[in-house]
């Protein structure tokens, strides 16, 4: 693979997914799969356009997201995030969660307190499968927001359907004989849809490092599919210039898909899990008033991961005598615990 030209800022590739769903056009499907894998090798992030998730459903998802966060705090706290880190569901109020790349070392409490000296200014509502007893959902009462639960359950499984198509395309692009190799290890019951609201904040607070929106990190899932509003602020690390980030500008109805750490391990680093963060909006008209207050930003990431007891070991087409496995096998649940334990204070 040729080295990137460090004089040219990295661009996030775009893949038109419309041809993938035609089972009779094998050559075009192969091209889509190869484009997807190439993007995930070079950048780790890709815009997927013309996917099969209906535009009307995406619009409704954002409407419900805004409606939820517009609720009074006491209503949102009827479905609080459980204490500690073991259950990743329900409402997280501003300052509760701290996204970090830090891995558990043994002296975690002091590290967690230190990380929270610069808080994340966002609120969150996490939802999973109602059939996952290890991660039980924390639903707000139906009377607090009638129709919310019904829609979000439907949206969750529609995202899983589309994500399954993405996993099958990745398998084809990785030259796996079984197109369903990855998808069949993701039943959907360990996935997570996250509703995110980045609150207005003075730009100066971010610029001086007194607060963050979301710190630089990689995801620990298999893949993430992100839907974002038109505000902007998502940035992706330029792998040719570590520490330099480029904007992932909003593209209407596109999925911003990125590889997570599990799939990077699984693919023997053939696919790249790239750091990303949320900073200030890049556009001047997204600030208000003399204090340069940011406008509200909403986004909806959908994290796809394998079933909890799945052993992550090298994909057959990604290992050879010249490229032996870099990582020891690990269960998904063990890797997830290692990463999630640093995000929340202990009970």
Whether 102 has a pLDDT exceeding 60, the answer reads no
pTM, entire model: 0.91
Whether 195 has a pLDDT exceeding 70, the answer reads yes
Nearest 5°: the CA angle 53, 55, 51 is 35
**Nearest-angstrom CA–CA distance, 42 and 38:** 6
Averaged pLDDT, 7-32: 88
Residue-level pLDDT at 283: 75
Whether 104 has a pLDDT exceeding 70, the answer reads no
Q: Which domains does the chain have, with CATH numbers?
A: 14-343 (2.60.120.330)
Mean pLDDT of the residues in the chain: 89
**Nearest-angstrom CA–CA distance, 135 and 93:** 19
Residue-level pLDDT at 144: 97
Q: pLDDT tens-digit profile of 251-274? A: 999 999 999 999 999 999 999 999
Q: pLDDT tens-digit profile of 158-178? A: 999 999 999 999 999 999 999
Q: With 0-12 CB in 10 A as exposed, 13-18 as middle and 19+ as buried, what is 2? A: exposed
């Amino acid at each position: 693979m040729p080295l990137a030209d460090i004089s040219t800022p990295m661009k996030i590739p775009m893949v038109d997914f419309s041809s993938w769903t035609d089972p009779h056009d094998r050559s075009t499907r192969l091209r889509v799969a190869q484009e997807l894998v190439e993007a995930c090798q070079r950048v780790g992030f890709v815009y997927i356009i013309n996917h099969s998730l209906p535009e009307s459903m995406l619009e409704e998802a954002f409407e419900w997201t805004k409606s939820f966060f517009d609720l009074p705090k006491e209503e949102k706290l009827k479905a609080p995030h459980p204490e500690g880190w073991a259950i990743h569901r329900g409402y997280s109020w501003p300052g509760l969660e701290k996204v970090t790349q830090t891995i558990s070392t043994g002296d975690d409490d002091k590290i967690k307190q230190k990380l929270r000296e610069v808080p994340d200014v966002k609120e969150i509502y996490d939802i999973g499968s109602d059939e996952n007893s290890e991660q039980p959902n924390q639903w707000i009462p139906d009377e607090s927001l009638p129709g919310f639960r019904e829609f979000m359950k439907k949206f969750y499984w529609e995202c899983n359907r589309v994500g399954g198509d993405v996993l099958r395309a990745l398998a084809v692009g990785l030259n796996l004989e079984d197109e369903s190799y990855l998808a069949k290890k993701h039943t959907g019951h360990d996935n997570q849809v996250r509703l995110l609201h980045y609150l207005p904040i003075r730009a100066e607070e971010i610029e001086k490092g007194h607060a963050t929106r979301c710190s630089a990190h990689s995801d620990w899932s298999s893949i993430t599919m992100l839907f974002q509003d038109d505000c902007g602020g998502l940035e992706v690390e330029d792998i040719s210039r570590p520490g330099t980030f480029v904007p992932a500008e909003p593209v209407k109805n596109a999925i911003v898909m990125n590889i997570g750490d599990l799939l990077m391990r699984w693919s023997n680093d053939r696919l790249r899990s790239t750091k990303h963060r949320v900073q200030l909006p890049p556009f001047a008209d997204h600030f208000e008033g003399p204090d340069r207050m940011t406008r509200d930003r909403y986004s909806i990431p959908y994290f796809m991961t394998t079933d909890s007891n799945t052993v992550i070991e090298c994909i057959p087409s990604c290992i050879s005598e010249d490229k032996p496995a870099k990582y020891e096998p690990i269960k998904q649940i063990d890797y997830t615990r290692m990463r999630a334990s640093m995000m929340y204070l202990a009970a």
